[in-house]
Structure 1
Amino acid sequence: MTTESPSEYNNLETLPTAAILAGMNRLDRTVPETVAKALPQIEKLVEAIVARLSAGGRLFYIGAGTSGRLGVVDASECPPTFGVPAEMVVGIMAGGDSAIRVAVEGAEDDAEQAWKDLQAHNISTKDVLVGIAASGRTPYVIGGLTQARAAGVATGCVVCNAGSAVAAAAEFPVEVVTGPEFLTGSTRLKAGSAQKMVLNMLTTATFVRLGYVRGNKMVDMKLSNVKLVERGERMLMEELGIGEAEAAELLKQHGSVRAALQAR
């Protein structure tokens, strides 16, 4: 696994802060180029997700450690960003929700638990499952993908090593081969950055395709704080050519940017 290969940097403890930061930054700049190489694979997975969600299905993420946490974060951002129900995108973490903050030892090695966790959400053939694993060999993810695919669920994955068991288990694999980390084996670094970029693409492209964006605006976002209310007002001012007071009144009256735009 290239993610486990030795770092090209050594004797890190002897380096000054500036050299540590420069080395990390140099390697981080390779991540977008690596993701770009996987765009055709990402496109296929997005199309599969769009097809299922447009027919009433859901998107599930499963993962362990950093990979699992990234899935939970991406899923949790979809309702406030796009105004979709919380159950439309679900992030499931090996070891349960408590593992988001505190590592649950051995949870990722249970090849049977992911399918049990998915069944608790009544996963079906209408849904799509994406396994996230930098190593590409996490038993929790392999087991979940294998059993889901056997049950007729569409499956994808995001991995950071080539030719992995996780990719082999998925119908729509995305392989972003990020190579050795600055700190050997610490896949929360480049690999984690690459996975976050891919997950951003999956959900953003999906919800754009499904009509949750107008122009380049998040017109269905939840107005859950002052910043977002002010953003909504600016959207209305720009779209309708009105003043701040009128925009504020429209937003208060209709409760969302989309509803206010449709009312005009």
Structure 2
Amino acid sequence: MTDPLSVCLTFDLDAMSAWIGSMGSRNPSMISRGEFALVAVPRLLELLARHEVSATFCVPGHTVCAFPDLIRSIKDAGHEFGHHGWVHENPAKFDRDGEKRILELGLKAFERVGVRPLGYRSPAWDFSENTVELLEEFGFLYDSSCMGHDFYPYYLRKRDQWTLDDPYVFGPTTGLVELPVTWGLDDYPAFEYVPGVNTGYSNPADVEAIWWADFDYALKNCPGGVYTLTMHPEFIGRAHRLVMLDRLVGRMKEQAGVRFTTLGAYAGAWKAANPVDAWKAKNPLRTGAGAIASL
């Protein structure tokens, strides 16, 4: 019997922070889009409970402070939390001390509701050259922001170096598990309209076809792998999209060889089964072994 495919439903609960931190908006109407999370999260919790599925909610500290009771309702329902910055800011726009402060602020916010996240997901999946080392420093188990695979985890490297003139330099492999993502399995590009940035408003049936095709491929070809859907309550929680998600989860549950789990549970089990040194020996291309160092 082959190892099951793990399905991780993840929700980036940005609320107002994405429009404030990423967009820099001063527009109350635009910021109110995030407040729709108050409607969407109860809907999603009901859907997840009905399907008996545990999910991972990646939340900025700003959102934790704005809606602690909402966060507690997610916690009480048994779901996992991931660190998602302070106010959904791009870490690459900060120096090392500034990025460290963002991580500290997010953790302090979670402490107020009795949570210490095991994992991290960068706002908009942006990293700085310091991000991986900082995540190590803070003792995170996993990250879910990078795109070096689609259905299998891997260990992140730190201190890679690159220029336009020299060969790529691979840095040392860390013990930080990467659970990869892709924009094709994210609801934001498909569903949210932002003038001049994102067209949004795709037909949910078309999006379902894409998400299902990736799932079907992973199920048939990637035993033991992980299929990660990235969604935002403010977007996926609109009625016609929620109907699609309900249908999609139901179809996935009907398939043999599938289990639903959280990012943290999957990462912990995978790391235990794949010690870093043994994994490096099996994946030399990920470590830079044999790469041309100079011309």
TM-score, normalised with respect to structure 1: 0.31
* Structure number with higher relative contact order (C-alpha < 8 Å, ≥ 6 residues apart): 2
TM-score, normalised with respect to structure 2: 0.28
Tell which structure's C-alpha radius of gyration is larger. Answer: 1
